[in-house]
Structure 1
């Protein structure tokens, strides 16, 4: 029977429960969020004459928790309008409503007795076949089902979401011996495709996979800090992005998560892994014990490894903790020859080789961290999982590592690293200098790496079979890294065009931040040329961290400073023409953006036949920040879309104003859903992919669908209604009023007037229908005029040097 989840019950509305509820609302599911009933009235409730029987009091805890979650930044929900999908209530009055839910998720306090009490209530009301899962981070799953019915046990599982559930990709699924296989299969599938998660199947072992390995790695480092006499800022500099870890690195991450959380997991592991050869690692260093005693828990207590204070001038300064004296001091500048050597190496696997060879403190720390980690993870197979690739999945998705430990080991060379592990002098508790026997067996079988790619599909070494097998589900994905070498059709310095099969090709950017310059413009046009003559459709996307940060403003700055306006005019015209080719080519063009999609990246998306975007896409026309208007067709496009929205019975200036403000205020969406609300996407011309790994495959499928449907090349528009002076008067008056009230600068006013000029079609005496080319021409003229302004050049230079907007 096909299982469909229409409504989910979330029991417990704390930090995790409320955010899990929001994420289910994000994907369109109705949510019932319940919590306990208060036992006492608040002061405000007493003042209002309320009683414990008042509905508003009985639901105070759940409503307050949800309200707190919705106020957090970044938001747990894609759009404020989605909140209506969440119904709140309490365990006493509303538990019977779970009978209408297909999935019940328990997220109450981490105490087995309380969880068992909740499950006893659940069993009274749930219908047979309803899924029940616990979001515990460490309590053994099998203990929770004691005393429950066979049907309850058959449909019960652990589902450990990582916090925050919207943003962290990891979802651990932990079945018991009684869980039906089809229930596990459903959760793996649903978590992947619907919730957008990297779903990792775990054994019911302490801390499962993510926290077992992640906390080991973090605490091993805290012991190395003492051995090597390292400072907080040194560790965070060495263990951040250069190592393929998040910017928050180690100690900053501990502050964000909360030292008490780290300590609770560590203490649980100390008690529950008596046979772990490295169990002493989970015993906390004295400086962490002292910090917990002092309640220096990180952000939640306003101080941890770092502390923000005001200096004598009133400026905010972040101090770091001296781990020897436990006193806060100014941070010291960290310099490293090894880190400098890694900077130009963009390929993370090649960078690992450079890092490992470092001869300074950073290189020593890299080796001292990784060699025991390789040993440790090899020994956890098959204890915590039969398949080692799940450990890599968990570390990438739950801890933000670019490469999991086995992937790093592969990058360094499996066989070459064995002798280094044995020879490493700096040893951690439990470290024996020898990896698990199955690694030696793998090498003896002639398998020199943990992973390899075969015909574009990633395989892993199967320990039982002593050979390689495809990673389950990998055949459904398209990974450019896996096909680029054999499927490249054409490339230049900024673009690679790849054959995706079935008549669809892909155009990939790989400039810094995927900015758009002459090489990218050339590549897109070449891709369209190829697709029109030899293929059936084109996808534009890449495997970078961001889709595109927009146009290469450094190039614009150089031309403008040198007053080479003929050259700049030609460059802007080429940009516009490329956007128009994306829209008016003879083949379907699907753009698949994700993460930052700004400026020109947004403009190209707006001109596509279809936009298949990841749920986490932050899209916007942000040109005001560098002193210009959108010049790659974005200003024209918003004028066109406003025209299509004008209705005879409405005040059309209001529609124009809404579109104008989206650009004028440089609004960037906080999700794909909000991109649609801001007008960057058009109804019926976009789709949202929840799982980033599936984005390219989904985009290819859409391009193929459009081609199979008999794609017909559209005709350029010449029926765009612009308001002329009727609209300009409102724009100019609004800008002047904002300037007078000091909301905007004089230069902001000038940019606003230029944008209004384009969107209103210039100095026209009455509303008129114009062509796209007419609007592109005046858009380009306004863009060039702004590039001649000194204050625009100041803004561009500030963005290039400081990385943030200047308001001058």
Structure 2
């Protein structure tokens, strides 16, 4: 028995039969014909099976979709073992297909014809946070940590994280160079918001749009109410229009990294990683601004990810992370 207005999905799910389920995730039906996507792999690390359930939810969407699980942490990100395997086999085509499938799954979630609310608790990092970035709104537990940390293992966010971060900075500032610089700095440093206030500074949490609760047992009930409130007359978001700055700011980024390298702030591969992030948010082929579509940004993310994955340093950093060794 729980107090009124609270629900714990680890208890509720015992009375339910999933619409679909695999080793990594399940799709459930809740009262009011709502859908709930639950990740339940080890550390809720995302795999192709996880994203297959996300894609199925976008197709069998009911009246709204809730992204939630009752684990200590929402998701630690994409399963690094999968990328280590791709790199060991030099299976670049498979890696590109995996990233593309991830991107198309979150895009399907974003543009499905019903409201989508992400309701995380604990760590929501990397690919896990990229899923949340494609929800209409977030309802976060007060202890949630939100962020994109891929640069720490020598890769870039490849599931729309750079795209959406740039989009939010561009919409907030109206200036392509400012948006590129802010996106580059926070993703390059792998900055995280360890509270709604910190996440707001990174554009990962939007006050007045996203919400937070102190009691995690209220996540499902409040998120369900948010979906019901949004449902009448709901229309999916319009595809964003973005403009990337010309290559002048690329030189400024390169100079910043060269100076930091000379002062011992960074490792050489930090500079390599940072400049690949820059290729996503800057028009490196011309001084002129470049108008891009959402798919263009997805393509830029995948290309940068693959270039980094082919370097021996990224291979070493990923293997070190998986083994618990220090990253050289």
Shared fold by TM > 0.5? yes
- CA displacement at 1:737 relative to structure 2: 1.6
After the TM superposition, which residues 737-752 of structure 1 pair with which residues of structure 2 at under 5 Å, given as runs? 737-752=259-274
Task: Give unpaired runs (5+ residues) of structure 1.
Answer: 1-457, 459-470
Residue 169 (structure 2) pairs with residue 657 (structure 1) = no
Residue 44 (structure 2) pairs with residue 491 (structure 1) = no
What is residue 297 of structure 2 aligned with on the other side? 775
Work out which of the residue numbers 621, 632, 636 in structure 1 matches 2:163: 636
Distance 2:230 2:245 in 1: 35
SS in 1 for 2:261: helix
What is residue 247 of structure 2 aligned with on the other side? 725
Contact 2:45/2:79 (CA < 8 Å) preserved in 1?
yes
What is residue 668 of structure 1 aligned with on the other side? 192
Work out which of the residue numbers 595, 598, 604 in structure 1 matches 2:131: 604
| CA shift digits 1:704-737 (9 cap, x unpaired) | 21113x11022322x2011030321221121122
Distance 1:741 1:657 in 2: 21
Q: Which structure would you say has the larger Rg?
A: 1
What is residue 84 of structure 2 aligned with on the other side? 557
Residue 59 (structure 2) pairs with residue 529 (structure 1) = yes
What is residue 511 of structure 1 aligned with on the other side? 41
Distance 1:536 1:609 in 2: 14
Contact 2:54/2:106 (CA < 8 Å) preserved in 1?
no
SS in 1 for 2:321: helix
SS in 2 for 1:476: coil
| CA shift digits 1:85-126 (9 cap, x unpaired) | xxxxxxxxxxxxxxxxxxxxxxxxxxxxxxxxxxxxxxxxxx
- CA displacement at 1:642 relative to structure 2: 2.5
- CA displacement at 1:477 relative to structure 2: 2.1
Distance 2:38 2:302 in 1: 26
Work out which of the residue numbers 131, 151, 169 in structure 2 matches 1:624: 151
SS in 2 for 1:743: coil
Q: Closer, same or farther in 2 for the Cα pair 1:743/1:706, shift >3 Å?
A: same
After the TM superposition, which residues 122-521 of structure 1 pair with which residues of structure 2 at under 5 Å, given as runs? 458=1, 471=2, 473=3, 475-487=4-16, 488-521=18-51
What is residue 688 of structure 1 aligned with on the other side? 212
Distance 1:715 1:591 in 2: 19
Distance 2:24 2:189 in 1: 31
Q: Closer, same or farther in 2 for the Cα pair 1:647/1:496, shift >3 Å?
A: closer
| CA shift digits 1:659-701 (9 cap, x unpaired) | 2211111112221221122221234431111111111211111
Task: Give unpaired runs (5+ residues) of structure 2.
Answer: none
Residue 239 (structure 2) pairs with residue 716 (structure 1) = yes
Q: What is the TM-score of this pair, normalised by structure 2? A: 0.95
Work out which of the residue numbers 551, 572, 579 in structure 1 matches 2:99: 572
Contact 1:728/1:756 (CA < 8 Å) preserved in 2?
yes
Contact 1:614/1:672 (CA < 8 Å) preserved in 2?
no
What is residue 430 of structure 1 aligned with on the other side? none
Contact 1:507/1:523 (CA < 8 Å) preserved in 2?
yes
- CA displacement at 1:510 relative to structure 2: 0.5
Contact 2:55/2:106 (CA < 8 Å) preserved in 1?
no
Contact 1:537/1:707 (CA < 8 Å) preserved in 2?
yes
Contact 1:722/1:767 (CA < 8 Å) preserved in 2?
yes
Q: Closer, same or farther in 2 for the Cα pair 1:761/1:607, shift >3 Å?
A: farther
Distance 1:659 1:733 in 2: 17
Larger RCO (CA under 8 A, 6+ residues apart): 2
Work out which of the residue numbers 699, 704, 715 in structure 1 matches 2:228: 704
Contact 1:495/1:510 (CA < 8 Å) preserved in 2?
yes
SS in 1 for 2:60: helix
Distance 1:647 1:524 in 2: 32
Q: What is the TM-score of this pair, normalised by structure 1? A: 0.39
Distance 2:283 2:66 in 1: 32
SS in 1 for 2:7: coil
